[in-house]
Amino acid sequence: MAFKINHPSTRINGTHLQGFLDITYQELVMTLGKPETNYDNSLAHWTILGGIHGQSVVATIYDYKNNRDVNRITDWHIGGYDQKALTLVRRAIGVVEFNNVKSLK
């Protein structure tokens, strides 16, 4: 399954914090495209829908209650229904190093 970024039919209700991502806003835009803006306590927000081992997985990348200029943000939240969201984000942004994506667990 190819990744769907910010697709309007992607359901994100009930997703919650799974981990963190250390990356610049510019790198996210270059990789995922422009974010949704001013979405539920965040200035920038991406939704990602993809497949892992034949299952549909949803992930979100967002800043949370961060009132800084988005161009200065490098600490992003990763949301999802479970820890598979972290794997999906790694694949979607092409992260080779594990250190860029940190789990809550």
CA atoms of 42 and 40, how far apart (whole Å): 6
Interval 59-105: pLDDT, tens: 999 998 777 788 999 999 999 999 999 999 999 988 645 556 666 55
32 and 80 Cβ atoms separated by less than 8 Å: no
Domain count, the chain: 1
pTM (predicted TM-score): 0.87
Range of the domain at 44: 4-103
**Which token pair is 40?**
């539920």
